[in-house]
Chain A
Amino acid sequence: MKLTGRTIFPGQASGPALVSRMGISFYGGVDPETGVITETGHDLEGQSIAGKILVFPTGKGSTVGSYVLYRLKKNVHAPLAIINAECETITAVGCIISEIPCIDQINLSRMETGMQIALDADQGKITIP
């Protein structure tokens, strides 16, 4: 399966997908030291976003969330890349300042956790073997 979206921040990555059907608030919703999702009731609660291709519809919450992505990158606990249906300011700015490849305007419905995803954010392209 090949999908094409919009480049938010360029770069290449490949790895296992971690897919959420819910919005993610990086500030308050993700542990900035470990990358574990801490938001109560979230569909990824208790799972780590570190080293994953993180797939979720859109970000939410405080603009301080951008700094959490940056901190995760410095700790080597950041996601390898981010794929959104609709990227908003917090996630976009977080990816740019942390240099995390990011693509949006992707139909996420056929993506599932555990799929191997290869992403070429320079071209906005996603390949799922």
Chain B
Amino acid sequence: MSLDAKIPGGQLADKWTTYKNNVKLVNPSNKRKLEIIVVGTGLAGASAAATLGELGYKVKVFCFQDSPRRAHSIAAQGGINAAKNYKNDGDSVYRLFYDTIKGGDFRAREANVHRLAEVSVNIIDQCVAQGVPFAREYGGLLDNRSFGGAQVSRTFYARGQTGQQLLIGAYQALERQVGLGNVQQFSRHEMLDIVNIDGKARGIIARDLVTGKLERHFGHAVLLCTGGYGNVFYLSTNAMGSNVTAAWKAYKRGAYFGNPCYTQIHPTCIPVSGDYQSKLTLMSESLRNDGRVWVPKSKEDAQAIREGRKKPTDIAEEDRDYYLERKYPSYGNLAPRDISSRAAKEACDDGRGVGESGLAVYLDFADAIKRLGKHVIEERYGNLFEMYAHITAEDPYTVPMRIYPAVHYTMGGLWVDYDLMTTVPGLYALGEANFSDHGANRLGASALMQGLADGYFVIPYTIGAYLSGEIFTKAIPTDHPAFEEAEKHVQDTLNTLLSIQGNKSVDQYHKELGKIMWDYCGMARTAEGLLKARDMVRKLRAEFWQNVRVTGKADELNQDLEKAMRVADFLELGELMIVDAYERNESCGGHFRVEYQEEGEAKRNDDQYAYVAAWEFRGIDNDPVMHKEELKYETVKLATRSYK
């Protein structure tokens, strides 16, 4: 199958407007007859389900948590970008577009990113209308701050809880539609397969996590808004339940997976403290507005700190290496995430890391507190400082924070065209679950923007292009053989997992997989390491299916079984990420291949690799097949990405 991104013609800035003016519409009486399934209730899913319900479609929305409001978008701290130019500092739709393309190391699709920048301004308007309490200035107007990878202040925020407030806004809009009867909500339900009929997505199999019962649900279209797959690394900033299962089942049912190796390692997380650790906690990138990142200049000082003989405050100003300010003077501490993370790794690899493990650098607020006063810092970051103190038992107002990079976001995801449709007709992917807008590295405060753009302002238009052709399709009864087959397939998998009764727990496999992925497919990758890792993952997966122990039964609330299903999919995904990383013989954004660098910076190869790698599933024991979508840059000139 050839990959057609269906990018509209015309000038870049006119494409979306032209598209909206020409896309087919569905009239209100027909909307009532069309059923849409939305899986996932983060920013993308909740905003899509609410908006499609408002439009009059019959919507069913699913989440594995006990309420749609728990989805992990809620944990986003820093903010959401929008090209409002309220600060009069030179921002524009074009600049937000360009920063995002450049931030993504020229590996994103121009037309999608421009649309994202265009609708960013509508998102802020919509959220304010819903009652999202963004930070304001004394004049009553909205406040902004700056974020990594940008030289303008375009980030809107609600204290350090922006994701929470945006999600609650979308959740309330969704609940309003539930109350009005336009949306049916299925909480504590996990999607475990996609049902295709005659080449189109027509429904899902979901497991009621309380009773364990499998359910069949029909939809004229299915939207996957199920987030990213960072938990393949075991330790990440994702929620414990975040998983790849929905996207992975879609891949195995014919949807191509785009750029699976593009992973974002976030530079400012609380370092690992012990092998019992279950997750890593992010400290918002916004902290880099006022915090300065440093390590000691000398290895001796660093060692003295690690051994507890010296405190960070004992290190004189001239003996500190503010390495981001030194290496990237024009962006300084606001260098993009991939670059900051790599720089932290370099400093630690050089023996100048701090903390007990030596895998940490300092984020120091002493200067900012001296300049602005403690109360200002408290107002800006109070809740983050509190969280840090809870976890580490250290006071960041007096002792610099210790931070280290951690897996945070996955730019890769299901391949989608301009309409956000996957390669399976009627199956869409929105938000982090798709691959589309961030290229090889996502800029801070852009994930919230993309999730809401897709849900509020893109899918309500683009779904019409497909559903206008479905108005004569009657709801397909769920006793159709395709539903039977899919349900049986899920039931068999559940039964198999429960019947193995081996010697190792699901978590043990997950941890082992995570370590392989982090060591060989994490911040630095080599061809040799990736080859080795692929073999290791395959062996681990084979062992899992022989020796995993899952307790309990299928027809009850069984968290062990839920986890086993997710880890089984991670064990397959891990291999695809490795294959993709191996095939991409260049460094770009979050994908750093040690063999391809120039003076320590990522070295892209635009002649050969300016494409999206979209992988097709060919059976678990066969190699996946890569399809290329060439990235055509009509407006932007490809350039070496410099933040110096």
Does B bind A? no
Question: Which residues in B have some Cβ–Cβ distance to A below 8 Å?
Answer: none
